[in-house]
Amino acid sequence: MAVSWLSRLAAQSSVPVFPVRGIQGEAALHRLTLTPGVELVDSPRHASILLVAGGVPPDQHDALRRVHDQLPNPFATLWYRSEPLAELASATRVDDPDALPGTLMTAHQELMRGKRGSSPRLLPDEPPNPWEGLGDDGHGGEGMMGGVPYGRPMAMNMHDDIRDGLTLDSLTVTLGPFLPMLPPGLGAKVTLQGDLVQSWITQHAPYPIALESVFLEAREHPVPIAELELARARYHLQRLAFALRLAGLERLALESLRLAQGLSPDSRLEGLRRRLTRCGFFRLTTTGRGWLDETLARRVGGVAARAAGLEEDLRSQDAAYGRLKFTPVVQSDGDTNARWCQTLAEIEQSLQLARQAEREGLYSETTEAIETPRGPWGEQRPGDASGVIDDLLPGLEWDEAMTTLASLDLAAVSEWPQDVTQELGEAPGDGADAAEERRA
């Protein structure tokens, strides 16, 4: 009786979902974050549903299997615009974003009430490295330490601390590509000494980001400037929400997403800016860390370049923006705090431009080169810039490194717009053949 009562109670609770952010999956997750009854959690061990949102490249399927097997029984998987793994061919796939919340809730209720079986384990139940009976004392280590006891590497004092010269135990771990605090797809090999980043080696670039379709249309023909600027402001607000959630400011992250969802030329940023100041967000990022010199700032482009004092914005070359008296906003410090100050300044500027352009009915004129929220798009789309963090993050404490990384927009721009169907956006080899058959 008690078990039955607890099951019914669990079925009525919010759905704990661990999201795997694949290619073209971010837009759906932004909507889910604001959906009542759905809770996106930061650990697969706290979830009852594994949601794979967007395509996952084949070379990351093993990493996806490891994430899958971390969920506690009973659990289910749901695939949004993504082909399920071969072992989960009968798993539920959803392509309609409007149907996604209801499908998640139904799956959770069926699991809790025992009407749905748990997803099977995909990997053998054994440590990743053999250890039993190995080593001098049979615990998998070398002498009293070292090795991989219980399949986990032990910390060893192999490096001098690059901060103050003390020799501390160092631990090398692999992070990503589905770690919520990293950009989707980013994978890295990281050596830590305490909370200090000793080394950072990027192994997988983040997935290309999909811009709203209005930016791709602006490369083909004139488009309303008001639409361009609202899309630009939306993009920056969504990035701000990610950083706020990483800082533990959940309510402000939701406020930022709600503002992005309902954005119009009449929207105002003053209220959000005041709350950011009161909660100490700018103090959290005022460390003088994450500084980019001119070469690195230009390599990243966009907000990062202008936050470092570079007045580089292709909107200055568009005659229609000239009639709006547009001039680039810039900062001077080039660090983490400057990038967030620049982001907020550009959101406010975009809203002002949208209001004025809507009143005057202005359309963009230059199509051969446009300024996207990620950076300039001339002969080529903005490319991957994740290589800059290999030199930027070592020497930072962990919280400083994550704050710095969140302030940098590093992913390449996708050739497909944000609202295209996933069949067009899937990674090559990850359901692409099946998608082609469905289109045929």
Quote the tokens at residue 415.
């050739």
Quote the tokens at residue 50.
């594994």
Segment 100-123 mean pLDDT = 94
Give the 3-state secondary structure of 60-122. Answer: HHHHHHHHHCCCCCCCEEEEECCCCCHHHCCCEEECCHHHHHHHHHHHHHHHHCCCCCCCCCC
Question: CB-based contacts of 171: which residues, under 8 Å, 6+ apart?
Answer: 153, 154, 155, 191, 192, 193
Cα distances from 221 to residues 42, 89, 139, 281, in angstroms, run 41, 42, 67, 40
What does the angle CA 204 – CA 210 – CA 215 come to, to the nearest 5 degrees? 140
**Alpha-carbon distance 262 to 249, whole Å?**
20
Per-residue model confidence as pLDDT tens digits over 415-439 = 999 865 443 334 433 333 333 333 3
Quote the tokens at residue 133.
């009976």
Residues in the chain, total: 440
Residues 424/415, Cβ–Cβ less than 8 Å: no
Per-residue model confidence as pLDDT tens digits over 29-45 = 999 999 999 999 999 99
Q: Which has the minimum average pLDDT: 195-204, 312-321, 390-399, 417-426?
A: 417-426
Domains defined for the chain, CATH in brackets: 2-112 (3.40.50.12280), 149-204 (no CATH), 213-382 (no CATH)
pLDDT above 70: residue 61: yes
pTM over 0.75: yes
Q: What is the pLDDT of residue 369?
A: 95
Q: What is the pLDDT of residue 437?
A: 35
**Residue matched to tokens 């930027």:** 392
Report the DSSP pairing between strands 15-21 and 38-40.
parallel
Question: CB-based contacts of 239: which residues, under 8 Å, 6+ apart?
Answer: 343, 409
Segment 375-395 mean pLDDT = 95
pLDDT above 70: residue 91: yes
